[in-house]
Structure 1
Amino acid sequence: MRNSGLPEPRGEHGAGPHDDPLDGAVWRLRSRACWEDAAALLAPRAAHEAGPALRRAAVLAERCVFTGRGWQAAEDALRSAEALATDDEERGAAACERGHLAYAATLLGVRDRADEARSALGRAAALLARDSPTRPLLHFRRGLIAQHLSDNPSDATAAFERAHAGASARGQRLLTSFTWRHVAAMAEHDGRLAEARYGFAESLRIREELGYLVGIAPALASLAAVLPDPQEAARLRAEAGRLVRLLGGVPTWLAPRLTPTPGPDRPAETD
């Protein structure tokens, strides 16, 4: 079945014996913050196939989220994917990706595109079948908007829980890591710290098992923020800092959180 944007990794190193070797290579590169290289691998097929074009757009959008750079390249790739879409599933998946890119640009202060983000995700909801494999991702991204742009914790929690149930049922493990992370963030917001610790730990566990290196430092930092043991929290933040340095300063927005005393006013989580 087709999924929106980036393929779910499979197997120990992100590719199973029956998977497209291209998807496996793209997964290994993007998980190590090599988004330009991953996009270059997809470029030949992305020129005339809707699926690879959307995956390329999603790779470049992910670079924007983690680095705050490359917006025009992501926009260009997304327009190409939209032009190649031929059915409602592909059009809905492209709309879901556009909503996410607009959300990220708004959250990171590049340009206020909140209305565009909401409109695009609404269009995706109208296009995608109720049993579409993209539905869990759509729920997740609507939750992000409710959490960070609309400041509506109850809607955010409901959307994240729907996304979590759908991703878990479909075996979408990377998305399940993201949903655990944001379900935990909402529990932290409500002061349910034991639930928050569990959710953040599950998100970290899945990322480590998948080898999603670029996402491990944010997961470590989030878990550190809700640990009762200051020494253990400091150890996790130090490990997060080491990983950020290893990846050349990525994610760029994480550094302010890697301080000895985390607090509730730390920067919004974009991943």
Structure 2
Amino acid sequence: MVSEFMLQQTPVVRVLPVWEQWMSRWPRPQDLAAEPLSEALKAWGRLGYPRRAQRLHAAAIEITTEYNGEVPRTEEALRALPGVGDYTASAIACFAFGQPTVVVDTNIRRVHARLFGGMALPEPTPRASEFARARQVQPEAKDDANLWNVSVMELGALVCTARSPKCDACPVFDQCAWIAAGRPAPHYTPKGQAWQGTDRQVRGAIMAILREHEHPVTQISFLADLSLQEHTSYVALEGLQAELAQRERALSGLLKDGLAVLEDGHICLPS
């Protein structure tokens, strides 16, 4: 469950060291639930999208209070937890508990699009038809269904990659509809998610400052001339050259999302 939260929009190479430290410190949901949210946000570090840490902490509390510290095994129960959507619920039920759920992530969507649809890439956003196809092609036997999900996901991650697929090493090369169609080019150009200069980048720099300070930070320190700040953690925020309006907007967003708290003109991580 922890890995599924961390791996949302974040590559394995960045997640692995944080995951190892996290699981060493909090091996059970009740261990995490016993700590304040601020500790979870600090441990999350620079993985990005810190609301994932907030929701994982909330899920740990609910698992502790409602499920006696045991992660629920069914998709329905998992989906009711904070931060758990359809994919995360099906993935946990399948990979942790061996349930024959239909798992559809980015890698699986791409393999299905090529193998069965003859397309270079799946549609930009998931469609109901993709989930219907995933249910149709998945084996009915429980063990086979779980093995299928793992295999197709790994095939997409290691062989049938987005940019440089290793078709010569593919075990289903002869059955691939995309190969049979002559490897047509993608019908759209994927657009990466912007980062440089965005409010999200500024939010990340502000969160880094809050994580590194033991005591609350004055609100004005984020809004005044950053070059006057003596603490080295302000260097990254100053380097972004974010205008005052953007810093105000980013800070306001963190407060609204409950990732920071304002008290008496000072800001800190939530307790």
TM-score, structure 1 as length reference: 0.28
TM-score, structure 2 as length reference: 0.28
Pick the structure with greater CA Rg. Answer: 2
From the two aligned structures, give the one with the greater helix fraction: 1
